[in-house]
Amino acid sequence: MKHKLSLFLVGFFTINILYSQQVSEDLPKIFYKNEKTVSINLLTNGFGLGYRYGNRINYYEKRIFDVELSAIKHPKEVKSKALSSSSKSFVFGKKNSVFDLRFGYGKQNQLNSKKERGSVAIRYFYSLGGDVAFLKPIYYDITYVLPDGTLLKEQEKFNAEIHKSSDVDGRTSFFKGFSEMQFVPGAFIKGGFNFEFSQSETFIHAIEAGIIFQAYISKLDIMAIDNNQRFLFNIYACYRFGKIINAQKISESYLKKRKRRQRFFL
């Protein structure tokens, strides 16, 4: 009986030590992927920037928190240029510049990990959340010809009933109209794939592509036409880059605790 008990104890501590060694090898892999990244986004109706924090749940999953700011364009936008060489280009009939701020929460799952340096990790993700569109009125430099032949220059918002393209001498400063900004709240859902190809263990470089569906409580009044939308569907692609955060410190702290437990039992 004592012989069997001795064998059991030897086997127990041997397995425990081997398991600890295995944990020490796996921990950096498990904790190594908490990350902070920024992105440069190209959408079918605009462009933007983003920030993401990824918090690992386990080896395959992460919680992701996104903040993104995008400029939204209307499909009917066509840039024009007034005859004056000093004038700024403008989109005739555009009433508001629209910017969208999104806050999202979701998950990212790993489909294929990087087996060696230089390979590609493939993940899929989804997120949803709230967003708000900022509508800033656009002012134009308008030139009127008075009956006596003199020219009168004014800064006005576009009015389809009185303004013609020949009257427009360009757009005014981008900052004019901020005090009249309107806000339109909404919500979104987003999903896609992420291809991480960095050759470094501390930095992240990835290409991401997916779709975004956005819904607002009212139409986004971009152009002076009737087909402004409150539901937007976008295909997007982005370049994402960033760094790994605080991974090794977590694993080293965990290993120290295990070593102290091992010394206590041995």
Residues 201, 164 within the same domain? yes
47-92 pLDDT tens trace: 999 999 999 888 789 999 999 999 999 888 887 766 554 567 778 8
Q: Which helix (H) or strand (E) holds 4?
A: helix 2-31
Residues 151, 234 within the same domain? yes
Per-residue pLDDT, averaged over 102-113, amounts to 93
Residues 48, 113 within the same domain? yes
pTM of the model: 0.75
Per-residue b/e over 112-137, b at no fewer than 16 CB within 10 Å? eebeeeeeebebebebebebebbbbb
User: Number of structural domains, the chain?
Assistant: 2
Residues 3, 95 within the same domain? no
Residues 234, 252 within the same domain? no
Q: For residue 24, what are the domain limits? A: 1-33+246-266
pLDDT value for 169: 79
Q: In CATH, what number is assigned to the domain containing residue 92?
A: 2.40.160.20
211-242 pLDDT tens trace: 999 999 999 999 987 789 999 999 999 999 99
SS3 state at 49: strand
Residues 215, 254 within the same domain? no
Residues 133, 175 within the same domain? yes
